[in-house]
Structure 1
Amino acid sequence: MDKLNFIKSVPISKGWSGDKKYCVTFKDGTKYLLRISPIEQFDRKKEGFEMMKEVLSLHIPMCQPIGFGVCDEGVYSLQSWIDGNDAEDVISDLSVSKQYAYGLNAGNILKKIHTIPAPKQQENWEICFNRKIERKIQMYSECPIKYEGGQLFINYINENRYLLHNRPQCYQHGDYHIGNMMIDTNDKLIIIDFDRYDYGDPWEEFNRIVWCAQKAPMFATGMVNGYFSYNVPMEFWRLLALYISSNTLSSLPWAIPFGQGEIDTMLNQAKEILKWLNNMNNSIPTWYINEKDYLKKREMYADN
């Protein structure tokens, strides 16, 4: 890493990525985020870096791609350092109206990101996602721990697979939720961590909105309203329930190697999802408030 010419590096332990991450400071005092991955991931990381450039060209507020190459430890990428706070750490301290405003912003940003098309040779989405569904159902069936009401997720998936037919595809951030957003020192929302980028149904990108809704329901509400310009189609909610169900099934087997804390997190999350969706009898979650109702109840959400 010597050729990168930084004078200070501080390891970053937060996050689930297998990358080594550092805040590095160069001689001129400028800070950057340095990510180092195994050399075997060169092609994937190179494509991801180039795709970040394409996203940046849309004037998205984001961590900017600065440099890419090979070092002694593997393949590295250098990104701009964001001074500010993790959005998930501060969102609960904000007024509900500000949470909603940040959510609207997040939805508008995602809509821009989704204007980047998927490669022409991309596999048919219905075939691709049905294969994922089968794998996740298998993972869950072999898992020694089960959700209370877990079969409801499987039933919903099997009854609504037809919704995958003829879905469009685009570039996806891959992990778009409040945990991968920051609020900088100018109070601006910044999108970070494009490492899990993918291509697929743009609406599948909302499958992690569960984390947003648990942290700040009005942020999640704003994100949906902003993306759809306040006109949310019913088909979106039905598909989202399918995508969330699929994600939930694989979350429990994923959590087991990380210990009881993560297992409990996923068990509680599944319970909350079933509550939001009335045991999968409703597709629109109880945390969502449409724009018309929000304006009617604005007095309730006025700043203190």
Structure 2
Amino acid sequence: MFDIPSYSSFKKIEAVNKGWSDDKKYYIETDDGRKLLLRLSDISQYERKKNDFEIMKKAASLNVPMSLPVDFGVCDNNISVYQLLTWVEGEDAETVLPDLSDIEQYNLGIQSGKALELIHSIPAPSSQEDWETRFTRKMNYKIKKYKECGIRFKGDELVIEHIERNKYLLNNRPQSLQHGDYHIGNMIVLKDQKIHIIDWNRMDYGDPWEEFNRIVWSATVSPHFASGQLHAYFNGNPPDEFFKLLALYISSNTLSSIYWAIPFGQSEIDTMMKQSQDILSWYDNMSSYIPSWYIKTSN
């Protein structure tokens, strides 16, 4: 990192070990008092990281509350790509939420829903593959990989049947930018109770409603937060079509979460196995398409 143009202004550099990304991350303090996040990636990621940086600039221009892009380039004698972003000072939403009142949780959910609406206002490129074709292929792959992985959860046949019965819902879905990992683990709550979105390294384009597949993490910790997110995004209660698609997307993710967890050890497997049972409970063994945690609004 010594050849980053602003390196001489770095007075404090601390490794950041949180998260699942392969990027090397550092907390930076500069001579002029700025707090930054430095992400280093292999040079083979150059085009992807450059594109991510440009999209982040576009999202920032829409006033999405987020870690702001500062600088991008090549370093370490051309073997690394770097992104410099503003550091978001606060606490992880997943840590903060359980200590807040229901209304405070709900209000943070409202903020997250409004932020997601802004993100989804950025359209997908016209060259993007048809969503039904792409996601059907993805679901078929997940079913195959799950069946081959050697670990099965109770009720998995109900989830697989639900996917097969509801694939038709993918027809004619629009596509937009997706954050790619939108849940309370990637949200920071500031001292003034404002929420900021971090970890933009999984961005993609797809059905904007698929983005809610990670809401399971938010709903597990705070149904009020998760419900508030939906109320803000849809300006009221979501339509039935949304809930039907959400059940399909969550079903697909439930299968892939099992084999995804295997390399990370028994603790992650146990977490995903428990989540599979929570999901089956929320959806009454897939006989309902509205999850039991959802709190309707009368507005």
Quickly name the TM-score band, shorter chain normalised: over 0.9
User: Residue type matched to 2:256 in 1?
Assistant: S
Q: Return the alpha-carbon distance in structure 1 between the equivalents of residues 31 and 240 of structure 2.
A: 54
Stretches (4+) displaced over 3 A: none
**3-state SS of 2:291 partner:** coil
Q: Work out whether 1:88 is the aligned partner of 2:102.
A: no
Per the TM alignment, residue 231 of structure 1 is displaced from its structure 2 partner at its CA by 3.3
Q: Work out whether 1:27 is the aligned partner of 2:26.
A: no
Q: Which residue of 1 aligns with 2:59?
A: 55
Q: Return the alpha-carbon distance in structure 1 between the equivalents of residues 17 and 265 of structure 2.
A: 18
Q: Work out whether 1:151 is the aligned partner of 2:157.
A: yes
Matches within 5 A, 1:126-145: 126-145=132-151
Gaps of 5+ in 2: none
Pairing partner for 1:217 from 223, 227, 241: 223
> Once the two structures are superposed, what CA deviation does each residue of 1:166-208 show, in whole Å capped at 9, x if it has no partner?
0000001111111110011222111111110000000000000
Q: Work out whether 1:102 is the aligned partner of 2:141.
A: no
Q: Which residue of 1 aligns with 2:45?
A: 41
Q: Return the alpha-carbon distance in structure 2 between the equivalents of residues 97 and 250 of structure 1.
A: 33
Matches within 5 A, 1:117-266: 117-266=123-272
Per the TM alignment, residue 287 of structure 1 is displaced from its structure 2 partner at its CA by 0.4
User: Residue type matched to 2:232 in 1?
Assistant: G
**3-state SS of 1:280 partner:** coil
> Once the two structures are superposed, what CA deviation does each residue of 1:39-72 show, in whole Å capped at 9, x if it has no partner?
1010000000000000011111110000001111
Per the TM alignment, residue 7 of structure 1 is displaced from its structure 2 partner at its CA by 2.3
**3-state SS of 1:119 partner:** coil
Per the TM alignment, residue 75 of structure 1 is displaced from its structure 2 partner at its CA by 0.4
Q: How large is the Cα RMSD of the aligned pairs?
A: 0.9
> Once the two structures are superposed, what CA deviation does each residue of 1:256-277 show, in whole Å capped at 9, x if it has no partner?
1111100000000000000000
Gaps of 5+ in 1: 296-304
Provide the TM-score with structure 1 as the length reference. Answer: 0.95
Per the TM alignment, residue 27 of structure 1 is displaced from its structure 2 partner at its CA by 1.9
User: Residue type matched to 1:135 in 2?
Assistant: Y
Q: Work out whether 1:291 is the aligned partner of 2:297.
A: yes
Which of 37-46 and 185-194 deviates more?
Answer: 185-194
Judge conservation of contact 2:230–2:237 (CA < 8 Å) in 1. no
Q: Which residue of 2 aligns with 1:18?
A: 22
Which of 282-291 and 19-28 deviates more?
Answer: 19-28
